[in-house]
Amino acid sequence: MGVMSEIQLKRLSEHKYSAQCTSLLDPVFQIWWRWLVEQMPLWLAPNLLTMMGFLANLIPNFILIYYCPQAFGNAPRWVYFLCGIGVFVAQSLDAIDGKQARRTGSSSPLGELMDHGCDAIAMVTGCLSFTITIQLGKEPIWMFIMCFTGIVLFYVSHWQTYVSGTMKFGLIDVTELQVASILVYFLTGLFGPDFWLNEVPVIGVTFQTCILASSVMGCVLSVCAIFSEIYQGGMGKNGSTIAGTSVLSPLLPITLTTYLAYHVAVKSPMNIFIKHPCLFYLAFGFAGTKVTLKLVVACMSKSPLEIKDICMLGGIIQVLNIHYGCPIDEKLLLCMMMVHMVFDISRYSITVCSQICNYLNICCFTIPYKPTESTKTK
């Protein structure tokens, strides 16, 4: 059974990507991206580039998590270099998949959906990998704040798109953050993760504190700026969203998801977040990924956002388990939640992609015809 209705599929097929970008580094990187896409063979499907970039980022992240399950410690130096290279490869392929689609005449809404979907997952693992690198697991409260602030920022950026119909990128945005993270990974590979615990000369605070403060402050300011735009109303009738719904309709899913994570982290008798920070963040972070995926689908199909979702079940069970004295082992329950989230996201993603492919009569990872360079790469 599909998760998208016939009306949603029809509206999604009519979707046109709209974006405004004032990024500082994008114009510089465009030189590299334009050259790179010209090296790609015309038979290579854009969605395959998206998936390759996604895996190039995801695999190094999980290698680092494997070596540092407590969100701090020393991984082999090559792992940090691998993470930095993974971010660069992912950034490059993510930037050229749309260019490749136009170049081969195979553009479709599925490409944008896959792009945002992969980003929603990679954001969770990437944020965790970054906090491990700067040894933030030694400061669990700040690790929680930084990681979940990142989830909220990613969600509200798509919320703003749902309201205005246009994806907006600021002066300091995705490209700048990726470059900064690459620099952090490479410096860690050279000097080790304990480098970030050294004090900055003159200032008297650690490099870790500087990164943490600037990251959280930047996220908070970005969220405030986005909410200011949302408050001004959307492009729908009477200032509603592009789906004609209230501009505040996306508030509940992300609020509930974040609250459940906070409640379990604070109330857990065995301090489950402190003892198993990576497992905890991945389980609840992927719940944030699922509600973001549904928001992206609602945005592209101009349809109301469904508030309730099974992804919240794991967090609710965790809260009830704590309330009744933990009759079920918390770690076991967290592992079960993690497995459930991976299965749920996989099922949802595969079902949506299959429905779109069938409706548009396209293939996801292949170009079923001999492509020609139909347009100039922009």
Task: Count CA within 13 A, CB hemisphere, residue 125.
Answer: 22
Alpha carbons 63 and 81: distance in angstroms, whole number: 12
Is 15 among the residues known to form the active site?
no
Q: DSSP string spanning 58-118?
A: HHHHHHHHHH-TTS-S---HHHHHHHHHHHHHHHHHHHHHHHHHHHHT---HHHHHHHHHH
Q: Is 31 exposed, middle or buried, given 0-12, 13-18 or 19+ CB atoms closer than 10 A?
A: exposed
Alpha carbons 109 and 258: distance in angstroms, whole number: 29
- Rounded to a whole number of angstroms, the CA Rg of the chain reads 21
DSSP 42: T
Angle of helix 277-300 relative to helix 140-164, nearest 10 degrees, comes to 0
Tell me how crowded residue 21 is: count the other CB atoms within 10 A of its CB: 14
Q: Which residues lie closer than 8 Å to 139 by C-beta, 6 or more apart?
A: 208, 212
Residues in the chain: 378
Q: Which of 263, 356, 371, 240 is nearest to 318 (CA)?
A: 263
Active-site residue identified among 116, 158, 276, 340? 116
Token duo for residue 140: 């669990």
Query: Catalytic residue numbers?
Result: 116
